Amino acid sequence: MADDNGGGAGALKPPKDVKIVGKVVMTRRQYKCNYIPLVKLSSLLTKLKEGEGVIVAVETARFSIESVAALAKAYGAKMEVLSSEGGLVTLLIRKG
């Protein structure tokens, strides 16, 4: 998994039973368009298998946590908060 310099999200330690297969940074600094990170997240969730997860860094001024949770649920995945600092929340979305 390549680190895309998304506000420190790469330094987090997800549970050992989850294989991280991607990371999406939903911030203005990373993407000017709101749709690109949603499409990237949807693409990763489509391919997600049991025991795999995706790290998602969300700028809450730009995206709601509820919308990310709804997207995860639509793909049969669970979401948990790994950290919250100011307006940046880092999530783990995983199957299994």
- C-alpha 87 chain-centroid distance: 15
Average pLDDT of span 3-19:
60
At 28-40, the pLDDT tens digits run 877 777 778 989 9
Kindly state whether residue 3 falls inside one of the protein's structural domains: no
pTM of the complete model:
0.81
Token readout for 95 is 């199957």
Kindly state whether residue 77 falls inside one of the protein's structural domains: yes
Kindly state whether residue 47 falls inside one of the protein's structural domains: yes
The yes-or-no verdict on residue 8 having pLDDT over 80 is no
pLDDT for residue 12: 59
Q: What is the CATH number of the domain that holds 64?
A: 3.30.110
- What share of the chain in percent tops pLDDT 90? 67
Kindly state whether residue 32 falls inside one of the protein's structural domains: yes
Q: Which residue stretches of the chain are H helix?
A: 35-47, 65-74
Average pLDDT of span 37-57:
95
Structural domain containing residue 69: 9-94
Kindly state whether residue 78 falls inside one of the protein's structural domains: yes
Kindly state whether residue 4 falls inside one of the protein's structural domains: no
Kindly state whether residue 81 falls inside one of the protein's structural domains: yes
The domain tally of the chain equals 1
Residue that the structure tokens 């987090």 belong to: 12
Mean pLDDT score of the chain, rounded to an integer? Answer: 86
CA neighbor of 90 nearest in space, from 57, 65, 60, 64: 57
* 64: alpha, beta or left? (left if phi > 0; alpha if psi -120 to 50): beta
Supply angle C-alpha 43, 48, 14, rounded to 5. Answer: 110
Kindly state whether residue 46 falls inside one of the protein's structural domains: yes
Q: Which residues pair with 19 in a beta bridge?
A: 52
Beta-strand pair 52-59/19-26: parallel
